[in-house]
Amino acid sequence: MAIYSQYLNLDLQTILIIISIVLNTILGILIFTKRHDEYANRVYIFNIFCIIWWSVMIVLYRLSLTHLLAYTMGLYVAPTFIASSFLYFSFLFPEIHPRIPFRRWYLWAIGALNIVVVCLTLIPGVILESVDYVPGQEKIIHFGFLYTIYAFYISSFFGLGLLILAIKLWLLDDRVKRRQLAYLLWGYLIASTLAMGTNLVLPYFGYFVLNWLGQVLTVFMVLPVTYAIFKHRLFDVKVIATELITISLWLFLLIRLLLDVTAYERLLDAILLGVMFIIGILLIKSVDKEVAQRELIENQEKELEEANARQENLIHFISHEVKGYLAKSEAGFASITEGDYGDVPGDLKTMAGRALEETRRGVDTVMEILSAGDLKKGTINFTMQPFDLRASIERITSELKPSADAKHLSLETQIDGSANYAVIGDEIQFSKHVILNLIDNAIKYTLSGAVRVSLFRRGSTLIFSITDSGVGLTPEDKGRLFTEGGRGKDSLKLNAHSTGYGLFIAKSIVDAHHGRIYAESEGAGKGSTFTVELPAKTS
């Protein structure tokens, strides 16, 4: 009974050590259950086991009044395995680097040297001589004549492991792996340096007040490494954090319960511990479920992105191939209609003319798809130089007038002739994909009435608009316009060859010219107005 009460006499330092044991155990279990398939992680699990062993030995050493030398030997044997397994782990994590090759005999050499040091530690008088206990004070350890060799062994193995990690950090190019190494390197550098100071160096000079601190500091070694191991799956970190916080709270409440004096306090803390245990279990399950759902969504998004990328590449490839075939067909039909093959029958010439028209329409369609893809990827280079926007609009309006006349539409222009309409931009791209596209669309989607093209200047902004009396736009249509493949609800009824890429290309080019494009309409059947605003060229 006296021995039992002795072990319940916990001071603050011992409680901190126990907390570190619990936290390190949790982290070790997490790595074992979720990442044990990787060899480097299995090596680190062994390292954590040795750290826990070291921490348990310091608890027994602090609480025990008998067998002190045996506990002290266990206390000093554990660090030999911590140092050697850390050195071994440094070669493996996050991968073996070709500039720092690992040979199998390294493992045998590290293991053999570690066995020698362990044997020396277990021989009384060589590294450890005896332990003195003075009531109310820290126990005093008397070291043997080879203790300095022991200290050199521990510090050199840690130092060599840290050096290997630092070299890898300098050599690796992968950002994720560099971050993983940085977490590991800084965590071990700070914690191991402080731990060797408080548990290795200071005791040699007779200062034992802090010989418990190294075990507590191990949490700051294990935590960064655990985070580094799980770094490439960030959702796991959320689960780890939730479990650590929850279990730490349980541990805190359990310690309070053990330290309570009155029965009333024990009852309250017991009830609180039970309630928090249930809440904690529900919280962990909730986070696990959320993480599983988010990982599923993330995987689906990744698969969708990959599928879209493959589809884009396939479309781009097919479009290029089709463009080549159409170009050859276009050249052939053009040669027939232009008489390069001499006189041909009238029916054949008529057929060739129609085929040429359809082929050119097909080329235009393919070119729209290719242009949309290039704009989306940002691979189109614009030749930005001054040009007269008014001249471009008048030229294209004149070119499209026969199309309007064929539908008996009035094509009007309203341009203030006194203003300066110079802009900085790519005249060819802007004229073809913005001016031509907008006016041509207005003609195609207007069955009767008029199309009015206007241009005026407001301060430093040029405003170009096309108003028609055509099919108009619904609110749903407006939401789809200017998007990739987007088109009005009834657009295909009036223009069966619409690709839905024209306005997307127009908006992309207007954006590249630092302008703005938008559409207005009072509704279906009430016409629409497309407006482009561009910054005027400054003198």
pLDDT digits (tens, 9 = 90+) for 8-33: 456 788 888 888 888 888 778 777 77
| Spatial separation of the C-alpha atoms in residues 127 and 129, rounded to whole Å | 7
For residue 87, the number of C-alpha atoms closer than 13 Å in the C-beta half-sphere is 21
Higher pLDDT, 158 or 491: 158
Q: What's residue 154's pLDDT?
A: 94
Q: pLDDT at position 112, please?
A: 93
Give me the numbers of helices (H) and strands (E) for the chain, helices first please. 18, 9
Instruction: Read off the pLDDT band of 152 (50, 70, 90).
Output: very high
Tell me which of 56 and 500 has the higher pLDDT: 56
For residue 371, what pLDDT band results from cuts at 50, 70 and 90?
Answer: low
Q: Which pLDDT value is given to residue 1?
A: 36
- pLDDT recorded at residue 318: 59
Q: Tokens standing for 155? A: 């510090």
Among 308-312, 345-349, 435-439, the minimum mean pLDDT is found in: 308-312
| Alpha-carbon span 224 to 180, nearest angstrom | 9
Please work out, in degrees rounded to the nearest 5, the angle formed at the alpha carbon of residue 430 by the alpha carbons of 522 and 462.
60
Q: Is the dihedral of CA 362, 366, 372, 374 positive or negative?
A: negative
User: Given this model, what pLDDT does residue 361 score?
Assistant: 65
The confidence band for 373, taking pLDDT boundaries of 50, 70 and 90, is: low
Confidence of residue 121 (pLDDT cuts 50, 70, 90): very high
Tokens 């704009």 label which residue? Answer: 375
Is 404 exposed, middle or buried, given 0-12, 13-18 or 19+ CB atoms closer than 10 A?
A: buried
What is the pLDDT at residue 159? 93
Calculate the CA dihedral of residues 494, 500, 504, 505 and round it to 10 degrees: -90
**pLDDT: which is higher, 487 or 214:** 214
Does 303 or 147 have the greater pLDDT score? Answer: 147
Question: Is residue 246 over pLDDT 80?
Answer: no
Using the 8-state DSSP alphabet, how is residue 299 labeled? H
What span, in angstroms and rounded, lies between the C-alpha atoms of 62 and 55? 11
> Among candidates 187, 287, 195, 279, which has minimal Cα distance to 228?
187
